[in-house]
Each structure stands twice: as structure tokens, then as C-alpha cells.
Amino acid sequence: ESIRCPFHAWEFDGESGACSKIPYCARIPARARVRAWEVRELNHMIYVWHHAEGKAPDWEVPNSPHYDDPDWSPVRTFEIEVPVHLQDMAENNLDPVHFEYVHKMQGTPDTEISFEDEGRVLHAVSYSQQETPVGTFDMQLVRETYGLGLGTVESSGIPGVGLYMFTSTSPIDRDTTVSRWALTTTNNAVDVAGEEWMDNITAGVYDDMRIWTNKIHRAEPVFCEADTLLVEFRRWARQFYSPDQLAKPTPAS
């Protein structure tokens, strides 16, 4: 496979990065090449590996068990660009208190966390009782976070209804992030829970956006003693930064 530049239509080999074709010139310059990136195509997304120190991938993107399942709906995709630090978006998963005050849930959900794959993957489960268009149910929300950029969310509790979402979050710069979701549900979700239930899921993202667009990332924020999950998340997140990114700036003399 190859990729073509839209400027002069030069084509480059997808594996080596070498120029493979110039439509108006038979001789290809030896230096005509671009960087080749590690790419994966799955979960209705294209993933490109980037490491600040140029290291090769040491883990793989998980493949969703539901996107090709005939019992699950066609995938709905969403994309937003937010003026927020990448880590602050990822941190939402381990901030159960905000669910009550930002998303108007009935109390703060009980949340348990664990670490898998030599600590690279963070596993979180939250339990809460929630009102839905078809009644009140004991809901369970399971999240898997792979580094700071990838994650899965699976919700259950309404009998016979399931929801699964894969999220991919990429920083454009220090304070701008693009987040993409690929959402699927059991085929009966709209019939059982109603379109309103589906709308509420995406509406929750816009609740968060009001916070994110006004939030300043603090490397060392003030936590209270009840913020234990956030403290654990911050410790876990440090492994995904290069040493120079963690170094504190030297005060000017």
C-alpha cells in the first residue's frame, strides 16, 4: 500500500517510506522518502504509533469484541476538539465525584481499580443506581485505559441491554486534544431503553466539555484525602512520559 501527497501526487511506500512513483518524472531522487509509521486499522479507526524518543511499539491496540457482532448495532462515531491537556481528559475516568456534580448522577459511584499487563493497563469498575427512561437500575461501568490515549467503556445494568465504546484521544499540542469515540450497543438498546438513553450518553461528553474548556492543567494540583483514586491515577500516568517531560523546570537565578 502507498500514500500519495496531494501537492504534486508523489507516492510513497507504506512500509519503507521510500518514494515509489512521481507521475511526471521517471527518475526518483534517492533522498525522496518520508518517515514510515507503525499503523493499525481496527475498531473503525486508524491508529498511528508515536513515541517521543522514537522507540518501537511494545504493546498492541486491543480489538473490540462487539464491532463485528451481528447482535450489536452499527457503530456510531463522534469526534470533538477540546482546549484541554490530554491527561485531564483521561483523568475523568478516575474522578467518581464529578459524576454526581457534573453529570447529575444519584450520588458518587463506588469505584474499584486494578492494574494489568505489567501496569500499563488501568482497569476501573464503578457501581451506581441510576434512573433511566425505563426505570431505575443497578448499573455497572467498566473502563479499561491503555496509556493516556486509548480506552474502552462498557455499561451494563438494564436487563438485556449492553453498551460498548472505544475512545481514542490524541494531543495536538500541550493544551489541545482531539477525542474520538466509536459507540455500539446491543441491537435492542433503542427499543428497550429509548433514543433518549442514547442521546444522554453523548450529552454527557458536552457536560464535561464545559469543565475542560475552562480547566488549567496542574502538574501538582491540591488534592484532599478523599481523592485517593486521582492520586493513584497520577502516579500511574507518570510511566507514559519521557524523563525530560517529567523534569521540573529550573528556577531562574
Q: What integer pLDDT is reported at residue 214 of this predicted model?
A: 92
Q: What is the mean pLDDT of residues 75-98?
A: 91
Residue-wise pLDDT tens digits, 128-177: 888 777 788 898 999 999 999 999 999 899 888 889 999 999 999 999 99
Whether 134 is in a domain gets the answer: yes
State pTM to two decimals. Answer: 0.83
Q: Is the pLDDT of residue 202 over 60?
A: yes
Q: What is the mean pLDDT of the chain?
A: 88
What pLDDT sits at residue 250?
44
Interval 182-208 mean pLDDT:
78
Number of domains composing the chain: 1
Look up cell 464545559; give the residue: 210
Instruction: Report yes or no on 250 lying in a domain.
Output: no
pLDDT digit string, tens, across residues 237-247: 999 998 877 76
**Residue 178 included in any domain:** yes
Q: Residue 68 domain-assigned?
A: no
Sign of the CA dihedral with 28 first, then 16, 179, and 232 last: negative
- How confident is the model at residue 200, as a pLDDT? 72
Domain-embedded: residue 54:
no
pLDDT tier at 194 (50, 70, 90 boundaries)?
low
Pick from 166, 160, 141: nearest CA to 79: 166
Is the residue at 180 inside a domain? yes
Instruction: Take residue 166 and report the three cell numbers written for it.
Output: 472505544
Question: Is 39 domain-assigned?
Answer: no
User: Can you tell me the distance from the alpha carbon of 236 to that of 73, in angstroms, rounded to the nearest whole number?
Assistant: 34
Q: Render the burial of 44-64: b for 16+ CB within 10 Å, e for the rest.
A: bbebeeeeeeeeeeeeebbeb
The residue among 130, 126, 98, 96 whose CA lies nearest residue 112 is: 126
Query: Helix, strand, coil shares of the chain as percentages rounded to 5?
Result: 20, 35, 45
CATH of residue 218's domain is: 3.90.380.10
Residue 167 lies in a domain: yes
Can you give the pLDDT at residue 198? 67
Domain that residue 84 falls in:
76-240
Q: Which three cell numbers stand for residue 86?
A: 490530554
